[in-house]
């Protein structure tokens, strides 16, 4: 936490699972809205598409929006993604990830350059 430099620490929150949705992200939102407005994490689509809510949940990396809280468990441990610099709480620095992503150029490329640069090329059925 940049506001509180020093050794990282875990914080405990107690929530009633009957009062929130079944996913880890639901619990995090409840904690932020009702208990600790300073809790910081990323979220966006809530459907497992964007990857914004990636974090380490009980020792496994996953998406908080797709990971159910085990009903029989008494405790769930949520930490930032490993091997990444932590900005604050569960938010990690994604700069290196995006640089690597850009370097592999994971998008379709034309064999022949567009006849009109900057113009959208519509997809055909061919």
In DSSP notation, 42-92 reads ----SSSSS-TTEEEETTEEEETTTPBPPTT-S---EEPPTTS-EEETTEE
Amino acid 74: pLDDT: 84
Report, as ranges of residue numbers, the positions in the chain whose pLDDT lies below 70. 1-3, 113-116, 126
Contact 40, 89 (CB under 8 A): yes
**Helix and strand element counts for the chain (H, E):** 2, 5
pLDDT the model gives residue 2: 62
Provide the pLDDT for residue 3.
67
Structural domains of the chain, ranges and CATH numbers in brackets: 1-126 (3.10.20.30)
Please tell me the predicted confidence (pLDDT) of residue 115.
66
């Amino acid at each position: 936490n940049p506001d509180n430099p020093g050794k990282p620490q875990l914080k405990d929150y107690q929530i009633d699972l009957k009062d929130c949705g079944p996913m880890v992200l639901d619990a995090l939102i409840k904690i932020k809205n009702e208990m600790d407005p300073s809790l910081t994490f990323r979220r966006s689509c809530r459907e497992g598409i964007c990857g914004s809510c990636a974090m380490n949940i009980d020792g496994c990396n996953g998406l908080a929006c797709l990971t159910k809280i085990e009903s029989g468990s008494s405790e769930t441990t949520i930490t930032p993604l490993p091997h990444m610099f932590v900005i604050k709480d569960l938010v990690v620095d994604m700069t290196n990830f995006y640089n690597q992503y850009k370097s592999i150029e994971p998008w379709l490329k034309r064999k022949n350059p567009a006849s009109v640069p900057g113009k959208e090329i519509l997809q055909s059925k061919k």
